[in-house]
Amino acid sequence: MSTCRGCGAILQTTNPNAAGYTPKEGSAYCKRCFRLIHYDDLTVSMKTGIDPDQVLDGIAQLNAAVLYVTDLFDFESGMIPGLSRKIGDRDIILACTKRDLLPETVSHDKIARFVFGRLKEYGIHVKALHLVSGTSKEGVDELREALHELAKERPIVVMGRANSGKSTLLNALANQAVLTSSRYPGTTLEFNELEIDGLKFVDTPGIEVQHSMIMKVAERELKTILPSSTIKPTVFQIHEDQSYAVGGLTRVDVRCEGKGTVTWYISDRLYLHRSKAETADDLWKKQYGKLLVPVPETNRTITRTYKRNEEKTDVVVDGLGWCCLSGDITTIRVTTPEDVNVTFRKAML
Ligand SMILES: Nc1nc2c(ncn2[C@@H]2O[C@H](COP(=O)(O)OP(=O)(O)OP(=O)(O)O)[C@@H](O)[C@H]2O)c(=O)[nH]1
Ligand SMILES: [Mg+2]
């Protein structure tokens, strides 16, 4: 049985609503990939339904070297629990992709130091780290060389969270758009082999981004929340308590006992509203869903409070971005939809 070149699904001509459907026998791509590639139109959503354990177990069963792909913008989402347990003994190269989304002025060394620090905390060991971009092709030639050295007659399996940029990176390595990529998580549906310069690669379905803002908004809003060009940080110098609303998706209230700086790293298509702490509740109540859009698909929220020490701290909301806090900001309250991960970390940039 043949499979779709774009997503790996088994091609079939009987069920238009299921994966792999094509109206024409002998097609190279399924209808879903065809619509995604040519019209950016998602006919069948697979943001849930791909079993992460099955994917990890499938990867573990291959006698392969591993290209682990994480997204530098959504870095915390990319750290996969159980990864060391299941494939920790493999030869792993980590490709941190979407380098083009971070300001060019930030040095590679600084980012690499950050990444190695986080890997240590998560207990993940890799042979090498490459900072790359599948869209601008930065770092791709060096990665290709490293993969040739790593492979030693074995295939290379490409793994990572959904939407991290695996298929885009493989297309960049191949110098042609063979695989389907899209902003909708769950684009690649099955293990999908392809050969590049004599090396055998296996593209895999992304591990579901369960606790991310991506899962809490309607698919049409992904265009708003996912950045597509270099992030321009928005900087606020503050002297009093303040509140920030990212549309109706997240609210961050900060207590400032002197002078502080709040720098936001989010998509420039998102509406960021700053207000004084006293007026923030009223604003949220009156403007939620009006001025403060987009809103999540759920009304259930959770608020976390964090006491900051001296370190420059990032408050990261999976799938949305982060804000960096420094100076005399002492307490931070973060409100997000329930079940979205929030991480307080030493500043990345
Ligand atoms: N700016 C930027 N966007 C990227 C880069 N790589 C991927 N993207 C975008 O990220 C989104 C996801 O890319 P995919 O290649 O489909 O990601 P994937 O990891 O294969 O996703 P699944 O198949 O769902 O697991 C798409 O909108 C890509 O255009 C990159 O290096 N830079
Ligand atoms: Mg893919």
pTM of the model: 0.96
Ligand 1 near 171 CB (within 6 A): no
Give residue-wise pLDDT tens across range 90-102: 999 999 999 999 9
Report the 3 state secondary structure along the chain.
CCECCCCCCECECCCCCCCCECCCCCCCCCHHHHHHHHHCCCCCCCCCCCCHHHHHHHHHHCCCEEEEEEECCCCHHHCCCCHHHHHCCCCEEEEEECHHHCCCCCCHHHHHHHHHHHHHHHCCCCCEEEECCCCCCCCHHHHHHHHHHHHCCCCEEEECECCCCHHHHHHHHHCCCCCCCCCCCCCCCCCEEEEECCEEEEECCCECCCCCHHHCCCHHHHHHHCCCCCCCCEEEEECCCEEEEECCCEEEEEEEEEEEEEEEEECCCCCEEEEEHHHHHHHHHHHECCCECCCCCCCCEEEEEEECCCCCEEEEECCCEEEEEEEEEEEEEEEEECCCCEEEEECCC
Give residue-wise pLDDT tens across range 274-305: 999 999 999 999 999 999 999 999 999 999 99
Give residue-wise pLDDT tens across range 325-347: 999 999 999 999 999 999 999 99
Please, which residues bridge with residue 254 across strands? 242, 332
Average pLDDT (189-210) is 95
Calpha distance 83→103 (Å, rounded):
29
Calpha distance 312→251 (Å, rounded):
20
- Provide the token pair at 266: 């989010």
Ligand 1 near 250 CB (within 6 A): no
- Provide the token pair at 126: 């890799």
Please report the pLDDT score of residue 250 as a whole number. 98
Cα 57 to averaged position of ligand 2 atoms, centre (Å) = 18
Q: To the nearest whole percent, how much of the chain has pLDDT over 90?
A: 91
For residue 26, name the pLDDT band (cuts at 50, 70, 90).
Answer: very high
Return the ligand 1 atom nearest residue 189 CA: 23
Instruction: Give the amino acid at 86.
Output: K
Ligand 1 near 77 CB (within 6 A): no
- Does pLDDT of 311 surpass 90? no
For residue 82, name the pLDDT band (cuts at 50, 70, 90).
Answer: confident
Please report the pLDDT score of residue 49 as a whole number. 82
- Does pLDDT of 158 surpass 90? yes
Give residue-wise pLDDT tens across range 218-248: 999 999 999 999 999 999 999 999 999 999 9
Strands 321-337 and 301-307: antiparallel
CA distances from 169 to 16, 47, 135, 208, 303 (A): 29, 20, 8, 18, 36
- Does pLDDT of 52 surpass 80? yes
Please report the pLDDT score of residue 271 as a whole number. 97
In the block, residue with structure tokens 């908004």:
217
- Please tell us whether the domain made up of 45-209 is placed in CATH 3.30.420.40: no
Q: What is the mean pLDDT of the chain?
A: 95
Which residue's alpha carbon is nearest to atom 21 within ligand 1? Answer: 163
| Candidate from 168, 171, 173, 228 with most ligand 1 atoms within 8 A of CB, to mutate | 168
Average pLDDT (48-76) is 94
Ligand 1 near 20 CB (within 6 A): no
Backbone angles phi, psi at 66, to 5 degrees: -120, 130
Strands 242-246 and 92-97: unpaired
Please report the pLDDT score of residue 47 as a whole number. 87
Please report the pLDDT score of residue 246 as a whole number. 98
Q: To the nearest whole percent, how much of the chain has pLDDT over 70?
A: 100
How many Cβ atoms from other residues are within 10 Å of residue 132's Cβ? 25
What are the structural domain ranges in the chain?
A: 45-209, 234-346
Which residue's alpha carbon is nearest to atom 7 within ligand 1? Answer: 165
